[in-house]
Amino acid sequence: MARRRTTLKDVAEEVGVHTSTVSRALNPETRHFIRPEVAERILAVSERLNYRPNAAAYSLRTNKTRIIGVVIPDIANPVFPPIIRGIEDVLSERGYLAILVNSEPHNARHGAVLDALQSRGVDGLIMASLELGDSIIRGMIDDGLPAVTVNRRAEDADVPSVTNDEDQGMRLILEHLKALGHTRVANLAGPQSISTGKERFEAFRRHARAMGFDTSEDLVVFSQRLNEAEGERCAAELLDALSGFTAIVASNDRLAVGAISLLRRRGIACPAEMSVTGFNDMPMVDRFEPPLTTVRVQQYEVGRLAASMLMKRLDGGELEPSEEHIVVPVELVVRASTARVR
């Protein structure tokens, strides 16, 4: 019944030594200062009394919490769970814990959430939620808080990042569509306030031009958010505004899924009459109707890398310039939402 937790002092008294001796014996780094037989007794007793170090006291003294803040827009977005799992796996291997916070809706929570994390004294930050031009994160980094971004990147080149090869992904998609005979494809682009949205859009434009696609300005529509409803809305906008295009390249899977729903509602067959591509290869999109052609990004791996990167920085290692920004390769996975143009 809520009996007091056992402390260093309890162990020390039981063994008949000073607390500092116990502390040293329990820490592998300093254990060699202590005579082996004493250390052994201490280990045994602390085991028997079920001693657990008090993390608050440790933190107060050392200024380390062994806690990492993980900030994502919305855990309910299927893109993020694998990333988080990757992060959590490497953190826990290293004895760190993750505090998870959702930052959406952005304006309301972003600042407050980061405040709370900072106040808790997290040792570092992994940000999956970050808009271009965000200044709060800058402030925290200036305060000396190690941070890395994952999936997205910041404007400042000096905040380390792990991202996917957006450029390559877009190239693969366009090559694929070209091989299928498409020449006029629309781009359902993501918000330009987010690095992925911007990079994918720019990659689309660059490669489309290079490959000789029709590059009229009006073949692109920008979404405000990254969900299915917005995908529907934007697809409708495209269809209403123009015709003659045979494929829609969406900035991510959720937009693509929304677009496909709209096509179905309008009686336009996908892929027979209109090809649609996604980006991310979220879990389960292979089971959709039609199974989605998309770009597979290594979510889990990206999460692991970001966490490893942060760990390295916390170990005091400066990152090599080549390690500051890791971009992870992607691959095209062709399923059934794309087809040869008629």
Interface residues with a copy of itself (CB under 8 A) are 1-3, 52-57, 59-60, 65, 67, 74-78, 80-82, 84-85, 88-89, 92, 95, 97-102, 109, 113, 115-121, 142-144, 257, 261, 283-284, 287-290, 300
Q: Which is nearer to DNA, 6 or 261 (CB)?
A: 6
95 vs 133, beta carbon nearer a copy of itself: 95
Q: Which of 3, 61, 287, 342 binds DNA (CB under 7 A)?
A: 61
Q: Nearer Cβ to a copy of itself, position 3 or 342?
A: 3
State phi, psi for 206 to the nearest 5 degrees: -60, -50
Bridge-based pairing of strands 97-102 and 67-72 is parallel
Q: At a CB cut-off of 8 Å and minimum separation 6, what does 140 contact?
A: 114, 118, 125, 147
Q: Does 209 bind DNA (CB under 7 A)?
A: no
The piece of 26-34, 197-205, 263-271, 315-323 that touches DNA (CB under 7 A) is 26-34
Residue 73 binding result from a copy of itself, DNA, none, given CB thresholds of 5 to 8 Å by partner type: none
CA separation for the pair 309, 34 (Å, rounded): 34
Return the closest-CA partner of residue 257 out of 311, 188, 164.
188
Q: Coil, helix or strand for 101?
A: strand
- Nearest distance from C-beta of residue 157 to a copy of itself, angstroms: 18
Partner from a copy of itself, DNA, none binding residue 81, C-beta < 5-8 Å depending on class: a copy of itself
In Å, what is the CA distance from 296 to each residue of 3, 158, 223, 247?
A: 52, 27, 21, 19
How wide is the angle at C-alpha 289 spanned by C-alphas 198 and 225, nearest 5°?
25
Burial class (CB in 10 A: 0-12, 13-18, 19+), 78: middle
Please compute Rg for the chain using Cα positions.
26
Quick one: what does residue 95 bind among DNA, a copy of itself, none, with the CB cut-off 5 to 8 Å set by partner type? Answer: a copy of itself
Binding segment toward DNA, per CB under 7 A, in 57-65, 145-153, 190-198, 286-294: 57-65
Sheet holding 275-277, edge to edge: 220-222, 185-189, 247-250, 275-277
CB of 3 to DNA, least distance (A): 11
Determine the distance from the C-alpha atom of residue 25 to the mean position of all C-alpha atoms in its chain, rounded to a whole number: 39
Q: Out of 3, 32, 287, 342, name the contact with DNA by CB under 7 A.
A: 32
Task: Provide the minimum distance between the beta carbon of 31 and DNA in the complex, in angstroms, as a whole number.
Answer: 10
Distance in Å, CB of 138 to DNA, minimum: 23
96: Cα within 13 Å, side-chain hemisphere: 28
Binding site for DNA (CB under 7 A): 4-5, 7-9, 16-21, 23-24, 26-27, 30, 32-35, 38-39, 51-54, 57-58, 60-62
